[in-house]
Amino acid sequence: MSKTTQYVSRQSDEKGIIHWSDEENAVWRDLVARQLEIIQDRACDQFMHGLELLDLPADRIPQLAEVNKVLERETGWQVAEVPALINFDEFFRLLANKRFPVATFIRTREEFDYLQEPDIFHEIFGHCPLLTNPAFAHFTHTYGKLGYAASKQDRVYLARLYWFTVEFGLLRQQGDLRIYGGGILSSPGETLYALESDKPKRYEMDPVEALRTPYRIDIMQPVYYVLDNLDALFEIADMDMMALVEKAKALGLHKPRFPPKEKMAS
């Protein structure tokens, strides 16, 4: 999670409406149009079904109440309006209460292709379709409850599991690889890279191995973990996750498959 950002979230008015500019709506329109084309035959069926249920507007940023109406009906979830950056306590607290945090800003044209901070396109388009799915919703809720109760050290381990599932997860569907991670599905470059590049390693999902795998947020991922199917998230959620964290600690971290991040000159 970034510690600083140039972005400021828009605040809703007394009726819960966020007033977006024409340019912001145009950025949403162009992001959606591009990504809908790229994810065809690459996103998992459950994601595409969730997109149909949400029926997101193509020409403007949706209001959160529009998204909440569908999520509440399907899985009892809602999205929550948050600042551009929130701390881990608030992040886990929201998930533990079936509220998915959505920073109410959208990227500028200058950062159209890549944005380090999660904006409303990433959160709504990338994640909310699968929050209509019971397995994904249950996993995310369980993760939130565990994270809220966990120590600072244990949260670092749990963050890796979230990264390799909710953000950058792959699965098998009728013999083919498909994407369910929102960090991939909101990125045109990573959508193609995750499935079609021969550079990354793709391992069968083993929660302990995922907990031991370092990652960087600012590069194309060198490692992905693959589920047999999305319902496997039910099984992972019902494991003794904190016992797996202790096992991962005892085994130690894997060697990073990426170079260290260069420090900015001061």
pLDDT digits (tens, 9 = 90+) for 230-259: 999 999 999 999 999 999 999 999 999 999
| Arithmetic mean of pLDDT, 28-49 | 98
Total domains, the chain: 1
Residue 228 lies in a domain: yes
Type of residue at 233: L
CATH number, position 111: 1.10.800.10
Residue 122 a catalytic site member: yes
Residue 207 lies in a domain: yes
- The pLDDT of residue 1 is above 60: no
**Given this model, what pLDDT does residue 116 score?**
86
CA distances to 28, 154, 212 from 186, rounded to whole Å, are 12, 28, 25
Residue 197 a catalytic site member: no
Does residue 138 have a known ligand-binding role? no
Q: How far apart are CA 213 and CA 215, in angstroms?
A: 7
Identify the domain containing residue 237 by its residue range.
Answer: 22-251
Residue 242 lies in a domain: yes
Radius of gyration of the chain (CA): 18
Residue 2 lies in a domain: no
The lowest-confidence range among 2-16, 24-38, 48-62, 99-113 is 2-16
- The catalytic position among 127, 141, 187, 190 is 127
| Arithmetic mean of pLDDT, 8-20 | 97
Residue with tokens 């991040």: 261
Confidence of residue 3 (pLDDT cuts 50, 70, 90): low
Residue 12 lies in a domain: no
Residue 167 a catalytic site member: yes
Residue 257 lies in a domain: no
90-132 confidence digits (pLDDT tens):
999 999 999 999 999 999 999 999 888 999 999 999 999 999 9
- The pLDDT of residue 266 is above 50: no
Residue 2 a catalytic site member: no
The count of C-alpha atoms lying within 13 angstroms of the C-alpha of 24, restricted to the half-sphere facing its C-beta, is 16
**pTM of this prediction?**
0.95
Residue 9 lies in a domain: no
Residue 94 lies in a domain: yes
CB under 8 Å to 63, separation ≥6 — which residues? 16, 17, 18
Number of residues written out for the chain: 266
